[in-house]
Amino acid sequence: MISGRRVLLAVTGGVAAYKSALLTRLLVEDGAEVRVILTESAHHFVGPQTFAALTGSAPYTKLFDSDSVSPHTELARWAEVIVVAPATAASLSKMANGLSNDLFSATVLAYTGPVLIAPAMHTEMWEHPATARNMAILEEFGYETVGPESGALAGGDEGVGRVAEPEQIHEALSDLLGTRPDLGRLLVTAGGTREPIDPVRYLGNRSTGKMGHAIANEAAQRGYDVTLVTTSNLHADPAVNLVEVETAEQMLNAVEQVDMDVAIMAAAVADFRPAKKSAHKLSRSEGLDSVELVPNPDILESVVARDKRPLVVGFAAETGDVERAVQKAKRKDVDLLVYNDVTEPGSGFGTDTNRVTFVNRDGSVDPMPLTSKDEVAAQLLDRIAALRSLDS
């Protein structure tokens, strides 16, 4: 299962590097998020532009002079798996000996997850005791190998040392990643609803959907089957089932179609909508004294009222004290409420950070420090896992 997985492909300097372009295309087509490291010698065989076009972002090439202060540790933390293809004799040697004098070797040294290597070199180099020793060390590290095959080599030679075909590497990678744990079905609602007045204007709110999307993406990475019903066009992990909506009624209709074990209601749903939507754009001369409003359905309530009630997490963006959130958690009958004060700096709409307080079912509260929305998403999913294990 490669879809949605974060694959770091290291292309080292051998003629077989051109096959890594095909491998990249296979992985991208399969829904993987692919980042590429090109070593300096790989540049003699393939160009960064090829990989930029295939993945949508420029390959990583330098340990220094890049935007990041620590590109190797950043990449190592990002990757779920590293594939070294082609892996030259020199790159095997670097990995086996813990060298870290370029971006590729430093990233591998900083990395703790699974590594798949596809060696490619001349037969003499492959059969040299130094390479055999390096391979034995890499095997001891737990690194997996695919190939090399026997066949035509660079310069018209024949023998063992030919890199495995892209399809073979792709298959070995699928086996290595295995299937993710099946954590069940999880719904996330995200973004602020937009309630139309006419084809141009709407009643809306300041929610951007950042928090909800961060939760959906993290949940997909952990192995949930995620449906994200959202008004936002922010990035969603390719493994997420994305349903785009605008209004509260559309959001409710979409949610009603979803079977779920966990519901995380992070959307800012407008409490009211205009009673009628004008079919044409209202002009100034027509005038509009007032907009009559009618209440919107409560989506969270509909989920709580299901016969097969999922575990339900509500959100409360408030401008008051936490006691209001505690009351809201009770009233809404949720298993967990995520409260944040949107007037606090760095917390709330459109920011990358959030300071939240978790309100538990028994009314107890756990205030958290200001942190990234990604981290809040991770903490929330940890709490959900704990609640679900208490349940079972």
Q: Give the number of other CB atoms < 10 A from CB of residue 164.
A: 25
Q: Is 380 in the site for ligand C5P (CB under 6 A)?
A: no
If the CB atoms of residues 164 and 325 are measured against ligand C5P, the closer one turns out to be: 325
Q: Are 84 and 115 in contact (CB under 8 A)?
A: yes
With a CB cutoff of 8 Å and minimum separation 6, the contacts of 364 are none
If the CB atoms of residues 143 and 315 are measured against ligand C5P, the closer one turns out to be: 315
DSSP 63: S
| Site map 175..204 versus ligand C5P, x via CB under 6 A | --------------x---------------
**Which stretch, 71-79, 216-224, 309-317, 371-379, contacts ligand C5P (CB under 6 A)?**
309-317
Distances (CA, A) of 156 to 17, 18, 88, 124: 17, 17, 18, 14
Q: Is 298 in the site for ligand C5P (CB under 6 A)?
A: yes
Select the residue interacting with ligand C5P from 38, 117, 138, 300 (CB under 6 A).
300
Rounded least distance, CB 198 to ligand C5P, Å:
22
Return the active site residues: 205
Select the residue interacting with ligand C5P from 24, 296, 351, 354 (CB under 6 A).
296
Which has the closest alpha carbon to 222: 383, 40, 29, 18?
383
**Which stretch, 65-73, 134-142, 239-247, 261-269, contacts ligand C5P (CB under 6 A)?**
261-269
Q: Is 314 in the site for ligand C5P (CB under 6 A)?
A: yes
Burial label for 137, CB within 10 Å (0-12, 13-18, 19+), is middle
Rounded least distance, CB 273 to ligand C5P, Å:
10
Q: At what angle do helices 166-177 and 17-29 cross, to 10 degrees?
A: 50
Q: Is 209 in the site for ligand C5P (CB under 6 A)?
A: no
**Which stretch, 90-98, 115-123, 203-211, 297-305, contacts ligand C5P (CB under 6 A)?**
297-305
Q: Is 299 in the site for ligand C5P (CB under 6 A)?
A: yes
Select the residue interacting with ligand C5P from 82, 186, 269, 336 (CB under 6 A).
269
Rounded least distance, CB 25 to ligand C5P, Å:
40
If the CB atoms of residues 217 and 296 are measured against ligand C5P, the closer one turns out to be: 296
Q: Is 232 in the site for ligand C5P (CB under 6 A)?
A: no
If the CB atoms of residues 131 and 340 are measured against ligand C5P, the closer one turns out to be: 340
Q: Is 148 in the site for ligand C5P (CB under 6 A)?
A: no
Q: Could you give the CA distance from residue 136 to residue 164 in angstroms, rounded to a whole number?
A: 19
Pairing of the two strands 115-119 and 144-145: parallel
Residues 261/262/267/272 CA torsion (nearest 10 deg): 60
Q: Is 316 in the site for ligand C5P (CB under 6 A)?
A: yes
Within the chain, residue ranges assigned H as helices are 17-29, 48-55, 71-78, 89-97, 103-109, 123-127, 129-141, 166-177, 210-222, 248-256, 299-304, 322-332, 373-391
Q: Are 130 and 102 in contact (CB under 8 A)?
A: no
Of the CA atoms within 13 Å of residue 100, those in its CB half-sphere come to: 13
**One-letter identity of residue 210:** K
Q: Is 246 in the site for ligand C5P (CB under 6 A)?
A: no
If the CB atoms of residues 328 and 388 are measured against ligand C5P, the closer one turns out to be: 328
Residues within window 113-142 making contact with ligand C5P, judged by CB under 6 A: none
Q: Which residues pair with 344 in a beta bridge?
A: none
Q: Is 45 in the site for ligand C5P (CB under 6 A)?
A: no
- Binding footprint of ligand C5P on the chain (CB under 6 A): 189, 248, 265, 267, 269, 296, 298-300, 314-316
